[in-house]
Amino acid sequence: MTSYPRTHLKAAIVLAVFLTVIITALPTKEGAKTARVPVSLSIDPVTEPTSLPYEDPVTKLEAMQWTSVMIRSGDNLSIIFSRLGLKASDLQAIVNVGIDVSVLKRIVAGKTLGLQISNEGELLGLRYEINALERLQVTRTGNTFSAYLDILESEVITAFQTARISTDSPSLYHAGKKAGLSDNIIMKLSYIFQWDISFALDMRKGDQFAVIYEEIYVEGEKVKEGDILAAQFQNMGKAYSAVLFQDDNGLKSYYTPEGRRLRKTFLRDPVHFSHVSSNFNLRRLHPIHKRVMPHRGIDYAAKKGTPVVAAGDGKVTLARQNNASGKYVVIQHGRQYTTKYLHLSSFARAVGPGKSVRQGQTIGYVGSTGWATAPHLHFEFLVDGIHRNPRTVKLPNANPILASNMKRFKTSTAPMLMQLSSIVGNTGFARIPLKIPRTGS
């Protein structure tokens, strides 16, 4: 470089600077502007954009909150929809589903109705618990509704209990409650033995009973009791046993261990869980007239309005009122037997002369009409027109099980009768509960 003149070097530097300025000032291709983009030297993984999750419309519907509406006395769906401001057209659409929603015509006061209502006030779903194991579900699809019956999975447990009539528990009801039995099981037990035992007249201190029955659970919680499977009642030194059996026609009934049906022609008591205020006595001093007058029946003291049932199948011959008997009903049972029910407060609907009635059917209600000092039922039992003591009259025996069913009866009832015998023999009727799992549904 020292061999070149100094003036030449200066000229070369000026030329290089001039060319650099010219190149920098030239425009980019197609007029595009160059952007300065920072370059990351990081090696961290790049996160992909997150997509929104898919929402199943059915799951979304189930996730929405349900509103529970208590059904009031006198309510129907129309009244409830009107009260909540729901569309009448939705109600009509539900009705149009048909027989699958027919139960909604008979909704029961005290139960709850579940409703799914959108934020805009549109009805999306409805559910109604028919019983502890069945629930009706109604769901919306567009402008229509569909319905299905949801049957809850259940487990059946076999339980048993024993109890004794005592001074503190002088009746079947009190003894049963003390043993922890529900009103439902106590009532069923009284129905089983009502043809042989008068629970108003025949209870004695020391009487005792044992009962094996079903308890039904859903998700570990007891929802109701099922059938009584077997029972024994020791009354005044005599033991009465019963076992449940379903015949070839699918009909369930209770039989003695020998195969004789417990159901007889007549019930002992036409009023349940009452007490006898006056027995059959042909030399009784009348409480109103204060003179000896025959008392040709039994008086059952009970609250006014307590149902009175027909003692047997028959036809009503009289249903009227007079000064002495008040409102009364007379029933003819074939040619030989007649029963009378006096001092009623009112007659049951559809009970009148010429009407047929079934055993156990309500025919009237306890009252104090006529010559009566307090609410009670006066019950008379006549055989061939002659008054007999309802407590001691011999009633016709029930027919035995059909011979064609006897072998199957013995085979199917033997295990339950053996278990009943074991309970009675081993516990001595001590109040010891036991629960045995059985097959569920």
Mark whether 315 and 281 lie in a shared domain: yes
Q: Is residue 242 part of a domain?
A: yes
Separation CA 432–CA 196 (nearest Å)? 26
Domain boundary among 122, 151, 180: 151
pLDDT (tens digit per residue) in 3-55: 555 656 566 666 665 666 555 555 554 444 444 444 443 434 444 444 444 44
Pick from 30, 141, 128: nearest CA to 77: 128
Whether the pLDDT of residue 180 is over 60: the answer is yes
Mark whether 383 and 295 lie in a shared domain: yes
* Cβ atoms of 96 and 180 closer than 8 Å: no
Separation CA 28–CA 404 (nearest Å)? 109
Instruction: Using pLDDT thresholds of 50, 70 and 90, give the confidence band for residue 280.
Output: low
Q: Per the structure, how many domains does the chain have? A: 3
Count CB neighbours of 181 within 10 A: 24
pLDDT (tens digit per residue) in 101-157: 999 999 999 999 999 998 888 999 999 999 888 899 999 998 899 999 988 888 999
Q: Is residue 199 part of a domain?
A: yes
pLDDT of residue 127: 94
Mark whether 165 and 215 lie in a shared domain: yes
Q: Which two tokens stand for residue 279?
A: 């027995």
Mark whether 283 and 326 lie in a shared domain: yes
Q: Is residue 36 part of a domain?
A: no
pLDDT of residue 253: 93
Average pLDDT, the chain: 83
CATH number of the domain enclosing 356: 2.70.70.10
Helices of type H across 75-171: 77-84, 88-95
What share of the chain has pLDDT > 70, as a percent? 78
Q: Is residue 295 part of a domain?
A: yes
Instruction: Using pLDDT thresholds of 50, 70 and 90, give the confidence band for residue 250.
Output: confident
Q: What is the domain extent for residue 65?
A: 59-151
Of 25-39, 275-289, 380-394, which gets the smallest average pLDDT? Answer: 25-39
Instruction: Using pLDDT thresholds of 50, 70 and 90, give the confidence band for residue 65.
Output: confident
Residue type, 84: L
Mark whether 174 and 214 lie in a shared domain: yes
Domain boundary among 118, 151, 184: 151
Instruction: Using pLDDT thresholds of 50, 70 and 90, give the confidence band for residue 219.
Output: confident
Rounded to the nearest 5 degrees, what angle is found at the Cα of 233, between the Cα atoms of 163 and 276? 90
Mark whether 380 and 404 lie in a shared domain: no
**What is the average pLDDT across 93-108?**
92
Mark whether 298 and 371 lie in a shared domain: yes
**What is the average pLDDT across 70-86?**
93
331/6: higher pLDDT: 331
Mark whether 162 and 257 lie in a shared domain: yes
Share in percent of the chain as helix, strand, coil (round to 5): 20, 35, 45
Residue with the two structure tokens 């055989």 = 383
Mark whether 351 and 428 lie in a shared domain: no
Mark whether 408 and 316 lie in a shared domain: no
* Region class of 252: left (phi > 0), else alpha (psi between -120 and 50), else beta: beta
What share of the chain has pLDDT > 90, as a percent? 60
Q: Is residue 45 part of a domain?
A: no
Mark whether 223 and 297 lie in a shared domain: no
Pick from 187, 403, 371, 170: nearest CA to 287: 371
Q: Is residue 43 part of a domain?
A: no
pLDDT of residue 49: 45
Mark whether 314 and 338 lie in a shared domain: yes
pLDDT of residue 429: 41
Q: Is residue 32 part of a domain?
A: no
Q: Is residue 186 part of a domain?
A: yes
437/426: higher pLDDT: 426
CATH number of the domain enclosing 75: 3.10.450.350
Domain boundary among 130, 151, 172: 151
Contacts from 195-198 at CB under 8 Å and sequence distance 24+?
195/262, 195/263, 195/264, 195/266, 195/267, 195/268, 195/395, 195/398, 196/240, 196/262, 196/264, 196/268, 197/233, 197/235, 197/240, 197/268, 198/268, 198/269, 198/391
